[in-house]
Structure 1
Amino acid sequence: MLRLRTRFLAVVGALALGFAVPMSGAAADPAHERSPGDQLAKEITNQVKPPRIPARPFNVVDFGADPTGQRESTAAIAEAIEAASVKGGTVIFPEGEFLTGAIHLRSDVNLHVGEGATVRFSQDREDYLPAVHTRWEGVELYNYSPFIYAKDVTNVAITGSGTLDGQADEDHWWPWKQRSNGHGGVIETEDRDALFEMAESGVPVEQRDFGADSKLRPNFVQFYNSSNILVRDVTLTNSPMWMIHPVLSENVTVDNVNLDSPNGPNSDGVDPESSENVVIKNSRFNNGDDCIAVKSGRNADGRRIDVPSENILVHDNHMRSGHGGVTIGSEMTGGVRNVVAENNTMSSPNLDRALRVKTNSVRGGVVEHVYFRSNDVPEIGGEVIRVNFQYEEGDAGEHTPAVRDINISDVHSVGGEFALYLKGYERSPVSDVTVSDSSFSEVGTPMELEHVRNLRLDDVDINGEHYDETVNEGA
């Protein structure tokens, strides 16, 4: 990871200073020069490759799984995975319905959910014990196992045109976020506050064991400290909260996945956290929170681990419902850099923002080198571009965040409340934002700016008014 990180930073830094950086094997002449966003996207594409896993089949029915879904098949699925992991192989769910508890993947295993197959996850929380080492809203702990969990593995995949159904609903998992606890919060509030206090107080992770009494919802799919990861073609639905969550992982591909959980609270689609070299492409998002949220840990725990998310490429996706199409934060304490989002369609009155950065001075962290380009936004509910330093706790801490070098080009939108909503701090303005060759039509307010430095508008139209200027507001 260190070598790749150094290479990427050298590329972005050199291009930001105006130097041409040739691709490997390319001559250093003008014909090979690219913009920083082009260069970065190419570098990420060249580095991220799907794992190579043997096709050797291991049919779960042969290990005793019930294809009628009348009884749980957790043990049979585990046996098939163990057998496949010996020399590598593909664990196959054939046509049918399968009921299971937590599935724990191993290295060199492809979990293949075939056409006509539906894997339904138990609604009994006991089926996700014993507790495992995980991250919950950016903080490490021991909690319910994610429904599909892979820790310390390499070469792992989830594929196939079938469906993974988390079976979360108004009576299972979601109420912990939705129902009052009678004390001004919701059911999960007490455990959430306790976890965050443990992290701030430096309680060792091994002692943050929430066990069987936890009211903290598990993730749907989580890869933890793993590499060479592929999720392709499957449908995920009815998630308890975050849907695909790579943590401290690298070389991750999410391709042609259907993420459909619009009614679930915090049902983010894909959340790379403290992860490197991630490609999210050709997928469809219909979510009850952010479609994609790039993260890197929360507050004291994020500073303890101190690993950024970097080298993230998001392209050719379709975002519908959600709080943000591409979001950074709010758990971004370790920093986020080198993000390219291009050729996506973001269209729904239920999609609040296209590009969103959310942070505060309790989180801290640095966001830099973000390229949001050639994205089509034919319908939007709120702000097209939103950067806000007042999220959740607001300016209540000692860890001033920084957001800089944000590049927006060839973006065309219709509707929404604001084209640009940028609010930093006086001591830390939102800096070096470039918007070029873009149009924003039928927005309620063109711009809301507070503590912004060097906002460059180059060939920009907002509600028919043309802008070619540099703006500084309260910086």
Structure 2
Amino acid sequence: MQIGLRSDGKKYYLQLIFLVFCGGLMDRCGSRQESDNRPETNPFAVADEIISKIQIPQFKDTTFNIMDYGAVGDGTNDNSEAFTKAIENCHKMGGGKVLVPEGKFLTGPIHLKSNVNLHLDKGAAILFSRDKSDYLPVVHTSYEGQELMNYSPLIYAYQQKNIAITGQGTFDGQADNTNWWSWSGKDVYGYKEGAARQQDEHNLPRLWKMSDDNVPVVERIFGEGYQLRPSFFEPFECENILVRGVTFTNAPFWVLHPVKSNDITIDGVTIVSHGPNNDGCDPEYSRNVHIINCTFDTGDDCIAIKSGRNWDGRRVGIPSENIVIENCKMKDGHGGVVMGSEMSAGIRKVYVRNCDMNSPNLDRAFRIKTNTLRGGFVENVYFKNIRVGQVKEAVLKINTHYGTYANQEGEFMPTVKSVHLEDIEVEYGGKYGVLINGREESPVKDITLTNVHIKKVEEPVYVENADPVQFKNTTINSVKY
């Protein structure tokens, strides 16, 4: 048991007292909520079972065409009222399809309701307003793993069941260097010296302090006057979610961000969005997730599994688990499949198979990242039959010292164990084949590479503070390990 110091000099409570306060011996508070970690003898049979149990939403065969509610597809008329009326009427009538025909439809945020399938015909494009005031009043949302009241996500659902976004059309967030992106504080995205940005004291530091002080979420009010960007599609505390066939582009922030949601199917979706923090898909505190047949071409991680940040993650205490990713293509991005860095409540039971990753701008294929401020755990992760054409830095990177700049060290030792790669072919591995940087107090454990063949890497294996990696029929730079 340890006592540490906050940056303001106040002592933490003893961990035992903190755990009791949070609701019971790490079950709620996160960083030790691991399972018994017994190996799965046939992990992808488990994955198939997870998929079979996910409920895909079904809808009444009734159509509500937005044109019947006054929509005009000229790209300039504001169709917010037409979308609201069509969705509300569909919901009240027991559900069905809200149809968006061919055309360009400008709108403010779209709020989905239970039993509604928002369907875009081929040639349909929904353009989201560039006027930030349209995304008010604030709603209960999340930013980098911490809950708050902020600008509405572009497409939002709160405590709804049986919802879908389907079709062959495009959602265009219209974010660029003159709208939303500059708030990232990066010159390349239009930030000008002296302008407000998300790192300023009244933005993220204020939110972090509110989280540390356990301020109720309804009192964490941001929105107008603050610079925290909204996610693109965020189902919050929802069940039975389907996203199929559509394209997302030009997102302000994270693209697909299910929070505290269950039974999620993302099928045949294309994401092409190269702005700051433009992660493709970020399941957070979410369970029973199936991501299949998708293409990710992103400005940040292609898929990044999350479970809250710091004290907020430990407060919520819901691990992300039962996540199956298959038959996807990863192009540009910081990582192909990533866990963290917001993972304070833990991540387990992730299965990735039959994917292609290839781009000179893809930094890593598989990545796990956390630190002792965020803590959390990762366990029971399986990668199988992955083809990697080219990555920049590493095929597998595990780092429990992530972002260890000021205020990123704390009292919550992360654990990473049971990560397994099998049948992986890599043509150009970049700087490292395997790069692991663990903690002396908590070494990374049970990492296996079976039938993995990595070509053209500068340094095959770099491991620090980890149990020996287990190699079976594996070659790196044609050398057997």
Same fold (TM over 0.5): yes
Q: Do residues 445 (structure 1) and 459 (structure 2) align?
A: yes
| Alpha-carbon displacement from aligned partner over 1:44-86 (angstroms, at most 9, x marks no partner) | 1111131011131000010011111221100110000001012
Q: Do residues 361 (structure 1) and 361 (structure 2) align?
A: no
Q: Say if 2:287 and 2:322, in contact at 8 Å, map to a contact too.
A: yes
| Alpha-carbon displacement from aligned partner over 1:70-113 (angstroms, at most 9, x marks no partner) | 21100110000001012111000001110000100000000001
Q: Do residues 166 (structure 1) and 188 (structure 2) align?
A: no
Structure 1 residue 41, shift from structure 2 partner: 1.1
| Alpha-carbon displacement from aligned partner over 1:414-441 (angstroms, at most 9, x marks no partner) | 2211010011000101100011111000
Q: How does 1:242-253 map to 2 (within 5 A)?
A: 242-253=254-265
Q: Say if 2:37 and 2:380, in contact at 8 Å, map to a contact too.
A: no
Q: Residue type of the partner of 2:241? A: I
Tell me which residue corresponds to 1:204: 216
| Residues in 2 aligned to 1:40 and 1:357: alpha-carbon distance in whole angstroms | 22
Q: Higher relative CO (CA 8 A, sep ≥ 6), structure 1 or 2?
A: 2
Tell me which residue corresponds to 2:444: 430
Structure 1 residue 200, shift from structure 2 partner: 1.0
Q: How does 1:94-105 map to 2 (within 5 A)?
A: 94-105=101-112
Q: Do residues 145 (structure 1) and 152 (structure 2) align?
A: yes
| Residues in 2 aligned to 1:338 and 1:54: alpha-carbon distance in whole angstroms | 34
Tell me which residue corresponds to 2:198: 188
2:79 to 73, 77, 81: 73
| Alpha-carbon displacement from aligned partner over 1:262-312 (angstroms, at most 9, x marks no partner) | 2x0000001000000000010000000000000000000000111110000
Tell me which residue corresponds to 2:399: 388
Q: Do residues 378 (structure 1) and 378 (structure 2) align?
A: no
Q: Say if 1:378 and 1:413, in contact at 8 Å, map to a contact too.
A: yes
Q: Say if 2:231 and 2:253, in contact at 8 Å, map to a contact too.
A: yes
- Provide closer, same or farther for how the CA distance between residues 102 and 181 of structure 1 changes in structure 2, counting only shifts above 3 A: same
Tell me which residue corresponds to 1:268: 279
| Residues in 1 aligned to 2:192 and 2:439: alpha-carbon distance in whole angstroms | 35
TM-score by length of 1: 0.90
Structure 1 residue 182, shift from structure 2 partner: 4.7
Q: Say if 1:40 and 1:338, in contact at 8 Å, map to a contact too.
A: no
Q: Say if 1:114 and 1:162, in contact at 8 Å, map to a contact too.
A: yes
2:116 to 109, 112, 118: 109
Structure 1 residue 255, shift from structure 2 partner: 0.3
Q: How does 1:396-475 map to 2 (within 5 A)?
A: 396-415=409-428, 416-467=430-481
Q: Say if 1:414 and 1:443, in contact at 8 Å, map to a contact too.
A: no
Q: Which of 86-95 and 185-194 deviates more? A: 185-194
| Residues in 1 aligned to 2:103 and 2:67: alpha-carbon distance in whole angstroms | 10
| Residues in 1 aligned to 2:272 and 2:254: alpha-carbon distance in whole angstroms | 12
TM-score by length of 2: 0.89
Q: Do residues 282 (structure 1) and 293 (structure 2) align?
A: yes
| Residues in 2 aligned to 1:126 and 1:14: alpha-carbon distance in whole angstroms | 48
Tell me which residue corresponds to 1:176: 183
Structure 1: runs of 5+ lacking an equivalent: 1-11, 19-34, 468-475
Structure 1 residue 206, shift from structure 2 partner: 1.2
Q: Residue type of the partner of 1:420? A: V
Q: Residue type of the partner of 2:183? A: W
| Residues in 2 aligned to 1:222 and 1:393: alpha-carbon distance in whole angstroms | 29
| Residues in 1 aligned to 2:64 and 2:261: alpha-carbon distance in whole angstroms | 26
Q: Do residues 38 (structure 1) and 44 (structure 2) align?
A: yes
Q: Residue type of the partner of 1:153? A: Q
The DSSP-based 3-state class of the residue aligned with 1:384 is strand
What is the RMSD of the two structures over their aligned residues, measured on CA atoms? 1.4
Q: How many residues were matched structurally?
A: 437
Q: Say if 2:196 and 2:227, in contact at 8 Å, map to a contact too.
A: no
Q: Which of 267-276 and 193-202 deviates more? A: 193-202
Tell me which residue corresponds to 2:12: none
| Alpha-carbon displacement from aligned partner over 1:233-264 (angstroms, at most 9, x marks no partner) | 000000001000000000000000000002x0
| Residues in 1 aligned to 2:131 and 2:125: alpha-carbon distance in whole angstroms | 18
Structure 1 residue 391, shift from structure 2 partner: 1.0
Q: Do residues 60 (structure 1) and 66 (structure 2) align?
A: yes
Q: Which of 41-50 and 429-438 deviates more? A: 41-50
Tell me which residue corresponds to 1:296: 307
- Provide closer, same or farther for how the CA distance between residues 402 and 14 of structure 1 changes in structure 2, counting only shifts above 3 A: closer
Q: Residue type of the partner of 2:197? A: I
Structure 1 residue 454, shift from structure 2 partner: 3.8
| Alpha-carbon displacement from aligned partner over 1:187-210 (angstroms, at most 9, x marks no partner) | 111201111111112111111101
| Residues in 2 aligned to 1:344 and 1:354: alpha-carbon distance in whole angstroms | 10
Structure 2: runs of 5+ lacking an equivalent: 1-34
| Residues in 1 aligned to 2:260 and 2:389: alpha-carbon distance in whole angstroms | 35
Tell me which residue corresponds to 1:217: 229
